[in-house]
Amino acid sequence: MASKTKKVDAKKQLEVVEEQFQTIQVLNEEGEVVNESAMPDISEEQLQELMKRMVYTRILDQRSISLNRQGRLGFYAPTAGQEASQLASHFALEKEDFILPGYRDVPQIIWHGLPLSQAFLWSRGHFKGGDIPEGVNVLPPQIIIGAQYVQAAGVALGMKKRGQKAVAVTYTGDGGTSQGDFYEGINFAGAYKAPAIFIVQNNQFAISTPREKQTAAKTLAQKAVAAGIPGVQVDGMDPLAVYAAVKDARERALNGEGPTLIETMTYRYGPHTMAGDDPTRYRTSDLDNEWEKKDPLVRFRKFLEKKGLWNEEMENETIEKAKEDIKAAIKEADNIPKQKVTDLISIMHEELPYNLQEQYEIYQEKESK
């Protein structure tokens, strides 16, 4: 008697997979611990330092927007609302780790060692902005959406081959997961168990396109399943949840267990970039208000104040320090000689081909007059 083939309910299988990706949270909107089991091992001094970095970066964002409007900065992508996603993830890293940022991820590479004045020069398109200091393990922010995911896979594999105890960390937004580079990067890293951490900052909109119009997937974290790597979704407005997720992913990577994909559920309060984007055309005030109630700075401040680890004086000192640093950095950037055509030509190749050598000599003569 022939055996009957059991019919596979593909939709049911998908639902079973999607149910595994629940948002991890440690702090609620009132700064209360709601998940003790997910609470990371972090000292009081580290908690204070993380808060300082988040407050500092909020001021940096506000000042950068003003400088952009004054014509003193070029390209700028606002970061307010994403401080927990960006800074708590970075806080879980070590100096030897390598960061491959997207264009909104300037705060992470500043805290990883890139001088603030160089970040301003990068915004202006000055070649000095991409002249990374020795010992600072970062690449300049990637403008091509998702391209940094392929680069991160390669850097991570290189670290593995050299026996380095470090990881490569990269970021993209929800829109980046719709790019082919995203899939190629996580698949390659997964196949070779490269020590990489892939972070997707799901701020709900790829410029003006809502997440639900980009993919039929219920979560972005579940895209890890196809690459055979762990996927985690965390409350990206909760610094402790983000820190714990990245810390855990880093430990697994160093133990030879391969990469992790982390989706942080977050929100950018401002426009996509300062290049003419108007978020009021595709986002409602109700949605803005809903996410502002989840503000990472407010949530973390409440948590620390209850523990006696933060107060108004500490906040004001941090704000003033940020203002002073920004003022000094923009002055330093202003004092850098303006970029010349010969500068760009001379740094393109170790030895200039004859056609560029000719152009170099032509512009050198023009610039000397």
Active site residues: 268, 272, 282
Dihedral (C-alpha) 150, 152, 158, 160: value to the nearest 10 degrees? -120
- Residue 241 near residue 27 (C-beta atoms within 8 A): yes
Distance between CA atoms of residues 237 and 294, nearest Å: 6
Task: Report the alpha-carbon angle 245-192-139, nearest 5.
Answer: 65
Neighbours of 340 (CB within 10 A): 14
